[in-house]
Amino acid sequence: MIITGANSGLGAETAKALARHGAKVVLACRNTAKADDVAAAIGAAATVRELDLADLNSVRAFADTVEGADVLINNAGIMAVPLRRTAQGFESQMGTNHLGHFALTALLLPKITDRVVTLSSGMHLLGRINLGDLNWERRIYRRWQAYGDSKMANLMFGLELAKRLSDAGSDKKSFIAHPGIASTSLTGHTESIYGPLMKLTVLPIGQSSADGALPTLLAATTPDAPSGTFFGPKQLFGLRGAPVKSGYAPRAKDKAIREGLWRESERLTGIDFTV
C-alpha cells in the first residue's frame, strides 16, 4: 500500500495500523527524515520513498519507481497556509492537496490493483470550485476558503473517479474519507494566530491521530462498501467517533462542476487521465 504524507499525523498512524495487520507500506513523503523514523518504528514492512506533491516532476519521478500496489491512499495535505505557489505555479493548497494527488493517481492507476482512497475534510463544506480561477490568480486570497476548495476538490475527484471506474467496467474502487477533528501537526503550519486558536478551542473536542485515521483505514480495507462511499466519524456531527458512511455537501454531486474540475486538472497538470 502506498500512503502519501505518512511521515506524521494521520498518514503515520494509517501506515502503522496497516503494517500491524500484515500490509507492506510505502511511505511516500517529502520529509523523508521524519518518514525514516516512522519506518523504523514499523519495521521491515515499511519502505520510504521521496514524493513532493507540490512538484509534478517529483510526482512523475516517484510514479516511475512504482511497479505495482494494491491500494493508493492520497493522504498528504496542507491547511490554511499563506499564499504560496508550487513548482508549477499552482496555489499551494489546491496544488498539493488536489492537483498533486490527481496527477499521482493518473500515473499510478494502471498499477493499482484494488482501490484508491482520497482524504477530504469536513471543511469541504466551505468549498466552492471556481473553474475560472482554480489557482487564486484573480481573486483576493483567503486561506480558509482555499483550503475548503481543495478539500471539495478531493471529494469531487474521489466521487468522479468512482463513477468513471464503474462506467469503464473496472473492478477497481475509489473511496473518500475525512478524519473529523484530529490532533495532527497541520495546525502548526498556518503561520498565523489560527494555529494557537485551534489548539485552544477546536482540538480539545477532537480525537487522536490514531482515531482520526480510522475512516481512512475503513476505506482502505472494507470488502463490500460501494465505490464512491465517503467515510467519516459518527459522533458530534462528524467531528469524532467510530467511522461510518458520511454525508457531504450536495453540490459535490454537480456533474458539470465535477467534469469541469477533471478537465481543468488535466489541463493544469498536462496529464490525460483517461480511465
Residue 188 has a pLDDT of: 46
* Domain assignment present for 92: yes
* Domain assignment present for 252: yes
Q: How many residues does the chain have?
A: 275
Instruction: Quote the percentage of the chain above a pLDDT of 70.
Output: 89
Q: Is residue 141 over pLDDT 50?
A: yes
Mean predicted lDDT score pLDDT of the chain: 92
Taking CA atoms, 51 is separated from 48, 55, 113, 238, 249, in Å, by 10, 9, 21, 30, 31
* Domain assignment present for 274: no
Q: Is residue 2 over pLDDT 90?
A: yes
How far apart CA 229 and CA 247 sit, in angstroms, is 9
Query: Which residues fall within 8 angstroms of residue 224, CB to CB, at 6 or more apart?
Result: none
* Domain assignment present for 126: yes
How far apart CA 188 and CA 16 sit, in angstroms, is 23
Instruction: Quote the percentage of the chain above a pLDDT of 90.
Output: 86
Residue 158 has a pLDDT of: 98
> What torsion do the CA atoms of 107, 68, 244, 232 make, to the nearest 10 degrees?
-40
* Domain assignment present for 275: no
Quickly state the pLDDT bin for 121 (edges 50, 70, 90): very high
Identify the bridge partners of residue 243 per DSSP, sorted by sequence position.
233
Taking CA atoms, 248 is separated from 125, 166, 237, 238, 258, in Å, by 8, 21, 11, 10, 14
pTM: 0.93
* Domain assignment present for 106: yes
Three-state DSSP at 92 gives helix
Residue 227 has a pLDDT of: 98
Mean pLDDT of 37-66: 98
Answer yes or no: are the C-beta atoms of 135 and 267 closer than 8 Å. Answer: no
How far apart CA 185 and CA 271 sit, in angstroms, is 31
What amino acid occupies position 226? P
Residue 58 has a pLDDT of: 98
**Which of 6-20, 176-190, 208-222, 237-251 is least confident?**
176-190
CATH number for the domain that contains residue 207:
3.40.50.720
Domain span including residue 165: 2-269
Residue 234 has a pLDDT of: 86
Query: Which residues fall within 8 angstroms of residue 175, CB to CB, at 6 or more apart?
Result: 115, 116, 117, 118, 158, 162, 219, 220, 222, 225, 227, 228, 229, 230, 231
What's the domain count of the chain?
A: 1
Closest C-alpha to 212, from 149, 122, 102, 97 = 122
* Domain assignment present for 135: yes
* Domain assignment present for 54: yes
What would the DSSP string read from start to end of 55-91? -HHHHHHHHHH---EEEEEE-----SPPS-B-TTS-B
Q: 194 or 5: whose pLDDT is higher? A: 5
Catalytic residues: 147
Residue 182 has a pLDDT of: 74
